[in-house]
Structure 1
Amino acid sequence: MSDWERSSTARVVPPARPRKLAKVPFVELADGRVQGVVSSGSDIERVYVSSVAAGTFAFACSTNNNRPCGGARGSFCRHIRTLIDEAALQYGPERVARYLRLDTDVWGTTEDALAVAMIATGPPRGDNAAAASVFSRFLRHLAYLELAPTTAPVPEMQWFPPTRAVA
């Protein structure tokens, strides 16, 4: 077992390439989906919660107040394309392709190839069931940014119960 596996901290994987957080402030590979929060291009107060499911490429996109995206009618909207592009920047196109179970032998692994391949396979319309949990995780991440810098433990980030010393 390596040192990081025995520690109480998680290893952080640096982004594949730097990305602009103003466009997509939150992106993750979780719950069998590439999912995240995408800023609206027209309204600074609006964000979209977008996701694409691994394997089926079922997609969903809605505003932060759960209104459906007008551009996601039968194909990927601009928000979902932006999410996939930013996920490829954050995690690397190969990792995103593997996570989505995309046939890289046919389509390749560039950011554009990922979106083209998913569109070509006829992505089915998904549901917005995960939107609330994705947006909630995003807000929780934002709350941590507001904390004052400290080296003291942050109680809500201590995931493991204290253990008693064995004599």
Structure 2
Amino acid sequence: MGDGALSDWERSSTARVIAPVQPRKLAKVPFVELADGRLQGVVSSGSDIGRVYVSSVKAGTYAFACSTNNNRPCGGARGSYCNHIRALINEAVLQYGARRVARYLRVELADGDASGPAIAVAMSNTRPSQGDSAAAAPVFSRFLRHLAYLELAPTTAPLPEMQWFPPTRAVA
């Protein structure tokens, strides 16, 4: 590798995926991310297989939003975190680890109290407000884009939509 040769994954159209801290079941929360100053993601409906919710919690203020993929507000998110947001927090802890999620959201946890429920309680104690759901459309769009990548066959050929990334090294 020291001679300038690129490894297989560097020549591939796919990137390494960082393994979750703990295994996750993707059926309930298929998409979770720490991005744009929020914990955000997509949560499956418990009652309708064709419905998903786009949920988010803003770092620092803990303002939250939860709505369906059709921008209908969640009936459970009235003044406090709904079950979708709680599921999102719990899955984020499995994906990234409790300390990283708490640090990103700027939540102060007691020593030894690093869990999804502890994070939700700490944020709830600040009486967070219901935020605007402006993040729902971009989050859902990113989720759909990720799903589309799952349908592609693995290849070393470049993906045209990824061509705007500058090369990190000259290829000889």
**TM-score after normalising by structure 2:** 0.85
CA apart distance, 1:106:
7.1
Distance of aligned partners of 1:150 and 1:96 in 2 relative to their CA distance in 1, 3 Å threshold: same
- 2:161 equivalent in structure 1: 156
Q: Give the aligned residue type for 1:90.
A: Q
Q: Give the aligned residue type for 2:69.
A: N
- 1:40 equivalent in structure 2: 45
Distance of aligned partners of 1:103 and 1:145 in 2 relative to their CA distance in 1, 3 Å threshold: same
Q: Give the aligned residue type for 2:49.
A: I
- How big is each residue's C-alpha offset from its partner over 1:59-110, in whole Å with a ceiling of 9 and x where there is no partner? 0000000000000000000000000000000000000000000012378321
* Inter-partner Cα distance in structure 1 for 2:103 and 2:16: 20
- How big is each residue's C-alpha offset from its partner over 1:108-163, in whole Å with a ceiling of 9 and x where there is no partner? 32121011111111111101011000000000000101112222222222332579
With a CA cutoff of 8 Å and minimum separation of 6, indicate the structure with the bigger relative contact order.
2
CA contact (8 A) 2:58 2:105 kept: yes
SS at match of 2:145: helix
SS at match of 2:56: strand
Alignment of 1:64 onto 2:45: no
Instruction: Report percent identity of matched pairs.
Output: 76
Deviates more, 1:60-69 or 1:119-128: 119-128
Distance of aligned partners of 1:151 and 1:108 in 2 relative to their CA distance in 1, 3 Å threshold: same
In structure 2, stretches of 5+ residues that fail to align are 5-9
How many residue pairs get aligned? The number is 160
**TM-score after normalising by structure 1:** 0.87
CA contact (8 A) 2:31 2:41 kept: yes
2:116 to 107, 111, 115: 111
1:143 to 148, 151, 159: 148
* Inter-partner Cα distance in structure 2 for 1:158 and 1:135: 23
CA contact (8 A) 1:107 1:113 kept: no
Q: Kindly report the root-mean-square deviation, in angstroms, between the aligned alpha carbons of the 2 structures.
A: 2.4
Distance of aligned partners of 1:93 and 1:161 in 2 relative to their CA distance in 1, 3 Å threshold: closer
Distance of aligned partners of 1:162 and 1:97 in 2 relative to their CA distance in 1, 3 Å threshold: closer
* Inter-partner Cα distance in structure 1 for 2:101 and 2:82: 19
